Amino acid sequence: MDLQALTLLVEILDAGNLSEAARRLKMSRANVSYHLNQFERSVGQQLVRRTTRRIEPTEIGLRLYEHGRAIRDELTAARDSVAALSQHLQGRVRLSVPSGYGQLVMSPWLIDFKRAHPGVVLDVVFENRVVDLLRDEVDIAVRVISDPPENLVARDMGPVRYVACMTPAYAEAHGVPRALTDLAEAPVITSAVVGRELRLAATLHGERHEVPLRPTLTSENFLFLREAIVAGLGVGIVPDYVVHDEVTRGDVITVLDDWKLRIFGMRMQMLYMPNRHHTRAAATFIEFMLGRARQAQDDTEPV
């Protein structure tokens, strides 16, 4: 099989369309299309489906893409290994992280990694939507997810603990929820999924309970949710890291602490493609972040 043609297929699918692939490869669109057609003829099967906006791989095209990407990554890793003999760590890592966890927890880790490895280019996207690593050209994604896709490697970064919280002034004016069912009527501040009824699952002494919620304010931006909680607009139900500093200072109090609360997933996961060979930059980044996550978990475990 022609390695150049296989590499061309990888570049086309990474680009998403022939025009962008031509721009990246510094070739004409017609030339890219010609070589793709020749490759399909040599294989004897259609490798991509063309739509009005982008191209998508067929099943055989996806298989060849995965092999081609693995070969490309192995060659890049080999070049990195050679460069490492005389140079500092170099490369690019494209990362997608949740807006709240990424900004409130991971930001210091990312800055420390960058200080330790100035030659690595970090491309960080803060978003909460579920990403397609192949389509979005993301090397690593961090997400709260209960059942990671089987086609991805999932590395556990620790539990996500939810708290019910409010300001002391709100508690004095409106009272403190004493039972889980009190949250069903409370003005809740939390994240939510559009078009889906929000229900809070909670466990106490091994018994599981569930109550519907009627949020007064929802957002995917956890920094905004924190501001709303501190402003006394209602009862926040958020991951503990969102209000950690405010609770430490006494600006926010937590309630129903004996309950194990759950709205979405309970584990933070690092996801990436199961390529056998990563670039040194990506492999070093993965282990650095997992080490920081383990350290943070150890620091919060009760003695």
pTM listed for this prediction: 0.66
Q: Select from 251, 244, 250, 261 the least CA-distant residue to 108.
A: 244
Residue 159, CB half-sphere, CA atoms under 13 Å: how many? 11
Note down pLDDT in tens along the chain; length 303 residues: 677 888 888 888 888 888 888 888 888 888 888 888 888 888 888 888 877 677 888 888 888 888 888 887 777 777 666 655 445 788 889 999 988 899 999 999 999 999 999 999 999 999 877 666 666 678 899 998 877 788 888 999 998 999 999 999 999 999 999 999 999 989 999 987 655 678 888 999 889 999 998 889 999 889 999 999 999 999 999 999 999 999 999 999 999 999 999 887 788 999 988 875 678 888 899 999 999 999 888 766 654
Q: Select from 127, 162, 145 the least CA-distant residue to 235.
A: 162
Q: How far is CA 3 from CA 32, 35, 39, 42, in A?
A: 15, 12, 10, 12
**Cβ atoms of 290 and 183 closer than 8 Å:** no
> How many angstroms separate the CA atoms of 280 and 291, rounded?
16
> How many angstroms separate the CA atoms of 301 and 161, rounded?
12
